[in-house]
Structure 1
Amino acid sequence: IYLPTLIHLLRLQARRRVRPNTVPNPGRFSCRSVGSPASTSACFGFITLVKVTGKKRCHSATTRQSKVRKKKCYLISRAGSGLSLWRQQLAPCWNNPSTMAKSGKYCFAIDRGGTFTDVLCITPSGGIRTLKLLSEDPANYPDAPTEGIRRILQQEEGPERARTRDGLVNTELIGWVRMGTTVATNALLERAGDPVALVVNRGFRDLLQIGNQARPSIFQLNIQKPSNLYKEVIEIDCRLVPAQRTVCQLEQNWPELRGASNAQYLEMAPIDEDELRAKLVEVLERGITSLAVVLAHSYACPDHELRVGAIAEGVGFRHVTL
C-alpha cells in the first residue's frame, strides 16, 4: 500500500536540486552527488538511494556503511539533523571477500559448537565454500575444524597439494583461520574441565568463595551455592604494597619494584621458592596439572606471578594461567 507513495516521494525529492550540506527542512535530508556528473541521489526518511552509472544502491542511514568504487570509499552517516555523504580515501577492508581473494590463499572462518562445526572458506578466486560436520566423530577424524579445512583444500586443490609429505594440512595455502567456539563455555558451565589449583596470597584463600555476598533469594532458607571452579588452594607468603613514601615504609628499607606504567611497588615479603615448590609438587602428585595464579597487585606489577608461573612449569604443570 505504501510502496507507490514512497516511490512518488522519492521521485519528487530527486527532482529538487539541493545544495550540499544544507537541510531544506527538518523532514528531509541533503546529499552530495556521487560518481560521475550523471549520478543522481534521492533522499527520504532513513533510506538513501544512490544511483551511480546506471546501478542503484541502497544504504541504511541508521548504520554506517560504505561503498567501495575505484579505490574510493563513500561513507554515509548522520550529521546533525541531516544526512551527509562524502568521499574519503580508506584502506582496503580485509573483511571484504574481494579483498581477501587478492591474497591468493584460502581464508577460513569456523564456528565450533558442541554438536556441529560450521566452516566457511573464501577461495583465492573469491568464491565461498561452506561445510558442516559433526564436532565429535572419533571414528573418522580427531579434530573437526582441522578436518573441515582439509576437506575443502582437498576439493579445491586435490589430495596431493592439500597435504604435506607428513600427512598434515598444507598451511602454505592458508591465509588465516578465525574460529569461535563454545567448548570452553560449556566446560565451564558443566564443570567438565581439568581440576585446577588456585595460588593466592596468604589470607585470601576464601575470597572467591565469599564473593560479594549477593543473595538473589534473600528469604530462601535452603541456600545452594555454586561449586568452586578450583579444587585446591595454595597460599604463599609474598606481598607487594604500593610505594607511598611514608615514614614507616622508608624505615623498612624494602626493595622497590617497577610495574606497568612505571608504577612503584615495595616488596614486603619475597617468595619462598623452596616452600612454594614443595607445595606445588604435593598438588601435582594428587593429579592436578592445571594452575591458576592470582596474586595481589599483579595487574600492575606481575613480577611475583611470573616467578610462580616459571616455578610451576619447571615442576611439571601442563597449564599455568597468570
Structure 2
Amino acid sequence: MSTNTAYWHIWVDTGGTFTDCIAVSPSGKWQRIKVLSSSCLRGTLEARVAPNVWRFRHRWPVRTDVFRGYRLRLPGTAHQPVGVHRVDFAERLIETEAPLDCALPATFEITAGEEAPVLAARLATATPLDGQFPPLRMRLGTTRGTNALLEKKGARVTLCTTAGLSGLVAIGTQQRPDLFQLDIPDPVLLYERLVEVPEVVAADGTVVQALDAAALDEV
C-alpha cells in the first residue's frame, strides 16, 4: 500500500490490558505505539529537583512533550491528581502545576481521560491536547467484546437461532481434541439463553423466510 499521501494512516487494536497502534506518517515513516488500555502512561518519580519538578523514569513510546494539561496521579494513595505543566525528555524531568507529597521512588500515572486509541494517535502524531489532529485515516479493532464473552462479564447474552435448528449449536462439528476420548465434556456456552425464531436463510444468502420481528419482541 502506498502511504505517501496527505493523510496519516493509523491502525489500532485495543485489548483488555494493552492497546497497540501502528502509525504511518504522510512521508511514509512507520512507528509503533503501545499504551495501556486504561489510557494511562505509567512511570516512576525518582528524585525532586525543584518544588514542582521531578526526575522520572519511564518507557513511554514518545519523545515529544504533548502532555501539558494531563493529570498526574499516584496510584494507591489518597493524593489528589495534579496537572502536568511540561515534560523534558532530554533531562528526564516532569513539572507539575502543584506540589506532590510522596515518598520516593513513587509510581505515577498521567492521563487526559481520553480513550486509549485517541491517546495512541495523539502520541503518534505528536498532537497536544489543545492542538488539532492532522488529517488521518484510522482503523480500529478490539478484543474487548470477545474477552467479555469468554470471561462472562458485561451484559447477559441471548442467542437467537433459526427455529428447529437450536440443537446444532450443541452438536457442533463433532471435532474433538482427543479422537478416542470417551467422556466428551460439554462445550462452554457463551450465552445464557437460546431462543428459536421463525426465519430461514439459504446457503447462498437468499432469504427463504423473512424474520418475524414480532417474535423478537417476545424475547
Deviation string for 1:99-123 (max 9, x for gaps)? x23x322221223333322223222
Match of 1:247 in 2: none
Match of 1:106 in 2: 8
Q: In 2, distance between residues paired with 1:131 and 1:215?
A: 39
The correspondence of residues 114-153 of structure 1 with structure 2, limited to 5 A, is 114-137=16-39, 140=111, 141-153=113-125
Larger Rg: 1
Q: In 2, distance between residues paired with 1:149 and 1:223?
A: 47
**TM norm structure 1:** 0.37
Between Structure 1 and Structure 2, which shows a larger proportion of helix residues? Answer: 1
Q: In 1, distance between residues paired with 2:123 and 2:214?
A: 40
Q: Which has the higher contact order (CA 8 A, sep 6+)?
A: 2
Provide the secondary structure at the position in 1 that maps to 2:169.
helix
- The gaps in structure 2 that reach 5 residues or longer are 41-72, 74-110
Match of 1:79 in 2: none
Checking the alignment, whether the CA contact within 8 Å between 1:116 and 1:134 is kept in structure 2 is yes
- The gaps in structure 1 that reach 5 residues or longer are 1-94, 163-169, 239-294, 318-322
Between Structure 1 and Structure 2, which shows a larger proportion of strand residues? Answer: 2
Provide the secondary structure at the position in 1 that maps to 2:131.
helix
Change (3 A) 1:118 1:234: closer
Match of 1:175 in 2: 136
Checking the alignment, whether the CA contact within 8 Å between 2:159 and 2:193 is kept in structure 1 is yes
Match of 1:302 in 2: 207
1:230 Cα deviation from its structure 2 partner: 2.5
1:177 Cα deviation from its structure 2 partner: 1.3
**TM norm structure 2:** 0.51
C-alpha RMSD of the superposition: 3.7
Aligned length: 149
Change (3 A) 1:310 1:134: farther
Deviation string for 1:34-67 (max 9, x for gaps)? xxxxxxxxxxxxxxxxxxxxxxxxxxxxxxxxxx
Change (3 A) 1:161 1:125: farther
Provide the secondary structure at the position in 2 that maps to 1:226.
coil
Provide the secondary structure at the position in 2 that maps to 1:178.
strand
Checking the alignment, whether the CA contact within 8 Å between 1:107 and 1:174 is kept in structure 2 is no
| Aligned-residue identity in percent | 30
Change (3 A) 1:142 1:209: farther
